[in-house]
Structure 1
Amino acid sequence: MAKFNNKISMLLNLLLLLSVVLMISTAESRKLGIGFKVKDASLQCLQVYAVEAGDTCSLIVEKINTTFDSFLAINPNINCDSIFVGQWILSLLNNQSCVLHSHHNIWRDAHVPQRTFRYYNRDSKGLNFQALLDDVKNAPDGSFFLLHPCAHNPTGVDPDEDQWREISHQFKVKNHFPFFDMAYQGFASGDLDIDAKAIRIFVEDGHVTGCAQSFAKNMGLYGHRVGCLSVLCSDTKQVVAIKSQLQQIARAMYSSPPVHGVLLVSTILSNPDIKSLWVREIKVMMNRIQRIRAALRDSLEKLGSPFNWEHITKQVGMFCFSGLTPNHVDQLAKEFHVYMTRDGRISLAGVTSGNLSYLANAIHQVTCCNQENLKRSVVSVS
């Protein structure tokens, strides 16, 4: 019997989605051509912030020197920020109710107390916007919120622009601190600038803002784990204070980050030709994901499924939050050797033209095998 291991496929995104990304090989040859130089990885991060906020952000276009003076960037990821919050902000973390377990583990290990705010509507399989706003309004003033600016993992459900503006307004009213986890920029719309709109809205509304940016997926640097922790501060005095604490934490965690991946990112972002190639390849990858979404939904509907699978094509990003229950997932593994996470999340990078029909048939069989549970079969995992 054929086996379809979506857990393993999530670890093979480079093979199935990113393949050998041409812009990486181009950047690699360019970097090797100039020889190896020892550099401070943090010096590359201004370019990263321009990508995070978008090329049209006024702070980048109009005040880039001032932005650099009042902007802090160090290189690695969300772990450093979690420790900083635990040691110095001493605040509850407001984390989304429907988020990766690894996020909860990161903040737990940093000894940051957590509570959840509502995000996902399990009935509509869309954004629970009013509940989200209510939780933002009811949180204590100055609370710390972890947000996904685009291609939300695992749900694939993002606020639209008007909703982001309202969220930003309510954050301003309550003086909340927004911290963005940006791991999939470009995979929501295929456009880096469009996918940065949430961060751009918050920055232009005057928020002190943090962002953990990763290039693991959208540059095919999964093994390098290269990224940048950015904090947009209110003044240079705040920069000095925060930077000293983050450097102290980084020193204990890793001292100096590996520079190879950072130099690749820097080469791509600083060379217009290579960056243009990267931008085009992101669009290609996003289009491929959208085709898989459409094909999976179409296959399920052609099989005569009585359920509404519209959410598959409404979602964005690398993952399909299928709505399958843990029982369905167990049945898929036992009867069809199809493996995925127990919340029903499918990595679309692991779905190909060669296994899509098998996957759709397996899902159809396990969701339709028990008529008694017909109405509950596509209810999202609690």
Structure 2
Amino acid sequence: MAASIFQDVEMAPPIEVFQLTNRYNDDTFPQKVNLGVGAYRTDDGKPLVLPVVKKAEVAMASDSQNHEYLPVAGLPAFRDAAKKLILGEDSPALVENRTESIQCLGGTGCIRLCAEFLKKILKCDTVYVSKPTWGNHRNIFKHANFSNIKEYRYWNPESRGLNLEGMLEDLNNAPSRSVVILHAVAHNPTGVDPSVEEWEKIADVCKAKELIVVMDNAYQGFASGDLDKDAYAVRYFVRRGFELFIAQSFSKNFGLYNERTGNLCIVSKTPEVLNRVKSQCEILVRTMWSNPPNHGGRVVATVLNNQASYAEWKVQVKEMADRIQQMRKLMFEKLRAKGTPGSWNHIIQQIGMFCYTGLNVHQVKHLREKYHIYMLMEGRINMCAITSKNVDYVVDAINDAVVNI
């Protein structure tokens, strides 16, 4: 028999977060805890389908729409509503018709389309990502054939906060027209966001160095509970006159994880260039996924374009954000009451779904092996996975790890 054409294919390294979930699912220990997966959980540890999403889906199921292809750029009602959500209805970019958008396969699809456009159309070859950053940023730009994937300092392990000085220095040393990925709100994985004053300094450097800004916006509303507050950085850069890309994901704030619902919003200085930009994006989309799926986009459009549904959704988003903040406070108070060594203020100072605990690799392994608590090796945990039922167990385990490892 002839040798397989696949015989020299090497085994790829596992994707950590999914491997972690598989190990958790295979674990039969009754008190096991999965703090790794980046998805919202109720206080019962269950996935949540937002009630407003259920209502929209019931209405959609009874209408007479067919299953024809969407336009290559996606559902217009979704794209327009998504732009207004992130930019604000009174945005100068919207008023002056300086925006375009493309419906993508989740936030990941937005970043990938953006990377392809930057490489093939704008001929960019250098991108800066934060250190640390979302695990997929580097790989997306690698597979889009960027030659130079660099990091700017972000996390300060001593303060467990932002290393602003290092960030500004690294961006100031970046070549002109380098691409920089900025997390619009609720930085993943650290949960550390710049203040208003710090955003101003970051924008100053990006403007002076003529950096091409890509805002990764996965958590609008989900971070603070306030849609406008969570859009601050994006809207500030737009007011400053930046041309930029905004990758919007509706996985978290709509709970549409497996519907892969995203929108790549593009802001330009003038409206005249946008038709050309859109046309090139459509060619790139045609070669990757051809047309986006309909369901998730229609859910978002149905909710955002109906005043009553929109108001209901905002309440439900705030409830999710509030529960995350409550779990932060509860975990912090219990660690402090336990007398766990070190300062744990960062738990309540960080924002959004994730907490960068500061636990080291050996402590993370100890938690997994002794207590069946699963988290990424970098010490990132999903605060949604902390519940009133497991918080004492998790705190006791962390205390043991910090004291003894």
The question of 1:75 aligning with 2:103 is answered yes
| Residue type of the alignment partner of 1:73 | S
> Does the C-alpha gap of structure 1 residues 215 and 165 become closer, same or farther in structure 2, counting only changes over 3 Å?
same
Please give the alpha-carbon distance, in whole angstroms, between the structure 2 residues aligned to 1:322 and 1:235.
44
The question of 1:104 aligning with 2:132 is answered no
TM-score between the two structures when normalised by the length of structure 2: 0.86
Equivalent pair of 1:54/1:197 in contact (CA under 8 Å): no
TM-score between the two structures when normalised by the length of structure 1: 0.90
| Residue type of the alignment partner of 1:84 | F
Please give the alpha-carbon distance, in whole angstroms, between the structure 1 residues aligned to 2:300 and 2:52.
10
**Relative to structure 2, which stretch is displaced further, 187-196 or 30-39?**
30-39
| Residue type of the alignment partner of 1:25 | K
Post-superposition offset of 1:320: 1.2
- For residue 118 of structure 2, the aligned residue among 75, 82, 85 is 85
Please give the alpha-carbon distance, in whole angstroms, between the structure 1 residues aligned to 2:251 and 2:89.
21
Pairwise mapping of residues 33-182 of structure 1 onto structure 2 (< 5 A)?
Answer: 33-37=62-66, 38=68, 39-40=70-71, 41-43=74-76, 44-60=78-94, 63=95, 66-67=96-97, 70-76=98-104, 77-88=110-121, 89-112=123-146, 113-182=148-217
| Residue type of the alignment partner of 1:120 | W
* Secondary structure, counterpart of 1:47 in structure 2: helix
| Residue type of the alignment partner of 1:281 | Q
Q: Deviations over 1:301-352 (max 9, x none)?
A: 1112121111001000001111111111111111111111100111112111
Equivalent pair of 1:75/1:257 in contact (CA under 8 Å): yes
Please give the alpha-carbon distance, in whole angstroms, between the structure 1 residues aligned to 2:337 and 2:90.
43
Post-superposition offset of 1:12: 6.6
Counterpart for residue 32 of structure 1 = 61
Higher-helix-fraction structure: 1
> Does the C-alpha gap of structure 1 residues 269 and 11 become closer, same or farther in structure 2, counting only changes over 3 Å?
closer
Post-superposition offset of 1:360: 0.6
Counterpart for residue 254 of structure 1 = 289
The question of 1:265 aligning with 2:300 is answered yes
| Structure 1 unaligned blocks of 5 or more | 371-382
Please give the alpha-carbon distance, in whole angstroms, between the structure 2 residues aligned to 1:46 and 1:201.
20
| Structure 2 unaligned blocks of 5 or more | 1-28, 105-109
Post-superposition offset of 1:157: 0.5
Q: CA RMSD in A?
A: 1.8
* Secondary structure, counterpart of 1:284 in structure 2: helix
Q: Deviations over 1:10-34 (max 9, x none)?
A: 4574884761211101211232343
How many residues end up aligned between the 2 structures? 364
Equivalent pair of 2:128/2:152 in contact (CA under 8 Å): yes
**Relative to structure 2, which stretch is displaced further, 130-139 or 198-207?**
130-139
| Residue type of the alignment partner of 2:83 | Y
Counterpart for residue 377 of structure 1 = none
> Does the C-alpha gap of structure 1 residues 55 and 192 become closer, same or farther in structure 2, counting only changes over 3 Å?
farther
Identical positions, percent: 33
Please give the alpha-carbon distance, in whole angstroms, between the structure 2 residues aligned to 1:42 and 1:127.
38
* Secondary structure, counterpart of 2:101 in structure 1: strand
Counterpart for residue 194 of structure 1 = 229
The question of 1:288 aligning with 2:316 is answered no
Please give the alpha-carbon distance, in whole angstroms, between the structure 2 residues aligned to 1:319 and 1:209.
26
* Secondary structure, counterpart of 2:351 in structure 1: coil
> Does the C-alpha gap of structure 1 residues 288 and 7 become closer, same or farther in structure 2, counting only changes over 3 Å?
closer
Equivalent pair of 2:36/2:382 in contact (CA under 8 Å): no
Q: Deviations over 1:152-194 (max 9, x none)?
A: 1100000111211222222222221111111111122210111
